[in-house]
Amino acid sequence: MCLSWVMGSMWRSLIAICQQSIMSLLSTLKEKRKRLRLSLPLLLFLLQGFYPAWPQAPSLEETALFREGGVLLEKGDFQKALWRFQQLVRSYPRSPLLDETKFRMALCYTELKRHQDAIRILKELLDRLPPPDRMIQIFTLLGDNHTRLKERVQALHWYGKGLFLPGQPHEELKRKIRELIESIESEEELARIETTFRGTYGGGYAKLRLAKMEKARGNHPQAQKILMEIGKDYSSMDYWVQAKELSEEIPFRTRPRYAIGILLPLSGPSKSFGERAWQAIQLAFKEKDRRGEIFSLILRDSKGNPQEAERAVEELIKGEKVMVILGPLLSLNAERAAKKAQQLKVPMISFSQKEISLEKGDFVFQNSITPLQQVQTIASFGIQQLGLRTFGILYPNSPFGLHFKNLFKQEVTRLGGKVSGILLYQEDQTDFQQEIQGFLKSQNLPKKEALFIPDSHHRVGMILSQMGAHGIKGLTFLGIHTWNGPGLLSIGGRGAEGVVFVDAFSSEDPKVKSFVEGFQKEYRRKPETLEALCYDGAKLLVELILSKSPSTPQEMKEELLRVSDYRGVSGLMGFSENGTPIRKLTLYSVKNGKIVPLSP
């Protein structure tokens, strides 16, 4: 904030107040004199009654402290300036310079990063009903302090109040609002701001930011929808020109024949997974429809919330008239979203690992690697291919770990094997010495033995490394798809050699070379299992629609049920009559420090 602007405003404010008071008083007295025919002595008497305490000029000591503080403030010595102003306030609490001194104290507090003190004093000044030119300065400074505290909603509140003051310059406040909103990367936070400040300058600009994000991710229909709302509600704002230019950048075209709903977490803690899934889905459609003339992808954010996912499904079906939905991705959203799709009779291909209760003829399909599929594959391999009979389980103390532990134990028993020795550890644990020693002491097992560990590649890498430090040999380590990551090799080291785990995809597999190269070219990174599953779900729809041309959701469902020979990069071949995926999972091992598929 420019100090010269502040310094120059002091006496202007004081003079303006005095002039307004005097003129108002004289006008009132003239009217009274006309009506009552008052004599001059009586007029003077009334003048004293109306304005008994004429403001006194500041004393020499007050003026000296004020001037010293002002000089120090201009020099940037904010601490010394603050001391002078504080001394003036303490020593002369009825000084005519009090309000101006407190405002300058707020300036000092702001520069000294004592933002709460600045906010406190500025609010005190507001209670004294300052004139408009000073009020807008106070609103601006309050917004600045809340901005520095990263309290964006409060900052926008004060900046916005400044815009409601008539006859005052507003450009600086608008610039601050735009810069603050431009600094926000979270769509969830932008959506909250748009809702909180709807109808105001900041609310509309937050809406514009959301439109830009939709356009950047290629969701042109949603971007256009938001821009149309801006045109309807914010056409008087200076950024409306920017919104129109953005709208013109989106090529006009007639509505594509097929509307495809996409439901993913694009905000909240699972945002990164949603963005990865969206990239894979877009790639599948771009390969056959780069200009978007056949398919319209209508993206909705589940926000990681079951109620929001259910609401989005209804909006996609009733409002956007989609023929099929890809998603959701998160297990906690799957059940409610699937029930709504089933109720409204529109096919849904879910990527959730949760085993949804599906029945023959339902509209819900599942393209994921379920825990049961993984356990069946790895247990069958251990017993039927490796000839193992006795297994141990080491699992994390979490719902995820408990579920896999129970499934594996049941499957091993069903296949004629035996689980001997089950130990758990805490989710965030990094030292497994005690568990390893206890496991070894409690075991009296034959030479050929396997240990099943359902956890992430990072955690498994730690366990394998520590197992190796204990010189443990002869164990076959068995795992699930979450082992397929860099931590298995980088952390597990030599301890990872020979492990076996199950997954649907590996970017090193020669059979998926074309997909991996296309994905890398488009996004400059290697795809993982998540991307492969989402790509397969989208690619299957593309091929099915282009070859079969279904015209209704019912026809789409029937065509999905007929698929049986699809060759997906994640091993997807089709769906069973109750919507579960038909796929052959791949077994992987570590050989010479590399993850490689095991030969069938």
Say if 518 falls within a structural domain. no
Task: Assess whether 355 and 381 both reside in one domain.
Answer: no
Say if 570 falls within a structural domain. yes
Say if 174 falls within a structural domain. yes
Residue 410: the pLDDT is: 97
Give the residue numbers spanning the domain of 68: 3-12+58-180
Task: Assess whether 99 and 218 both reside in one domain.
Answer: no
Residue 483: the pLDDT is: 95
Number of separate domains in the chain: 4
Count the neighbouring beta carbons within 10 Å of the beta carbon of residue 132: 12
Say if 594 falls within a structural domain. no
Task: Assess whether 78 and 165 both reside in one domain.
Answer: yes
Task: Assess whether 71 and 169 both reside in one domain.
Answer: yes
Residue 445: the pLDDT is: 47
C-alpha to C-alpha distance for 596 and 189, rounded to whole angstroms: 43
Count CA within 13 A, CB hemisphere, residue 120: 7
Task: Assess whether 278 and 352 both reside in one domain.
Answer: yes
Mean pLDDT over each residue of the chain, to the nearest integer: 86
Q: What is the DSSP letter of 59?
A: P
Cβ distance 136 to 168 under 8 Å? Answer: yes
C-alpha to C-alpha distance for 593 and 492, rounded to whole angstroms: 10
pLDDT over 90 for what percent of the chain? 69
Task: Assess whether 8 and 149 both reside in one domain.
Answer: yes
Say if 31 falls within a structural domain. no
Total residue length of the chain: 600
Residue 420: the pLDDT is: 86
Spatial neighbors of 441 by CB under 8 A, at least 6 apart, are none
pLDDT tens-digit map of 400-436:
999 999 999 999 999 999 998 888 999 889 999 888 8
pLDDT at 216 over 60: yes
pLDDT band at 83 (very low <50, low <70, confident <90, very high): very high
pLDDT at 42 over 70: no
> pLDDT: is 52 or 508 the higher one?
508
C-alpha to C-alpha distance for 315 and 335, rounded to whole angstroms: 17
Cβ distance 432 to 444 under 8 Å? Answer: no
Task: State the CATH number of the domain containing residue 480.
Answer: 3.40.50.2300
Say if 588 falls within a structural domain. no
pLDDT tens-digit map of 223-262:
888 998 998 889 899 999 999 999 888 765 545 678 999 9
Residue 219: the pLDDT is: 81
Task: Assess whether 210 and 165 both reside in one domain.
Answer: no
Nearest to 501 by CA among 485, 517, 478: 478
Say if 200 falls within a structural domain. yes
pLDDT tens-digit map of 453-504:
999 999 999 999 998 887 787 889 999 999 998 899 999 999 999 999 999 9
Task: Assess whether 461 and 431 both reside in one domain.
Answer: yes
C-alpha to C-alpha distance for 202 and 527, rounded to whole angstroms: 38
Q: Name the phi and psi angles at 350, rounded to 5.
A: -85, 145
Task: Assess whether 325 and 380 both reside in one domain.
Answer: no
C-alpha to C-alpha distance for 99 and 387, rounded to whole angstroms: 88
Task: Assess whether 346 and 421 both reside in one domain.
Answer: no
Nearest to 386 by CA among 500, 505, 492, 479: 500
Q: Name the phi and psi angles at 122, rounded to 5.
A: -65, -40
Say if 553 falls within a structural domain. yes
Q: What is the mean pLDDT of residues 205-225?
A: 89
Which of 249, 270, 293 delimits the end of a domain?
Answer: 249
pLDDT band at 2 (very low <50, low <70, confident <90, very high): very low
Residue with tokens 């008994």: 52
Task: Assess whether 498 and 536 both reside in one domain.
Answer: no
- Is 79 exposed, middle or buried, given 0-12, 13-18 or 19+ CB atoms closer than 10 A? exposed
Write the single-letter amino acid at 346: V
Task: Assess whether 396 and 316 both reside in one domain.
Answer: no
Which of 180, 209, 226 delimits the end of a domain?
Answer: 180
Count the neighbouring beta carbons within 10 Å of the beta carbon of residue 332: 15
Task: State the CATH number of the domain containing residue 176.
Answer: 1.25.40.10
Helix (H, G, I), strand (E, B) or coil at 242: helix
Nearest to 306 by CA among 275, 277, 270, 276: 270
Nearest to 378 by CA among 502, 464, 477: 502
Name the helix (H) or strand (E) containing 301: strand 295-301
Nearest to 363 by CA among 128, 553, 492: 553
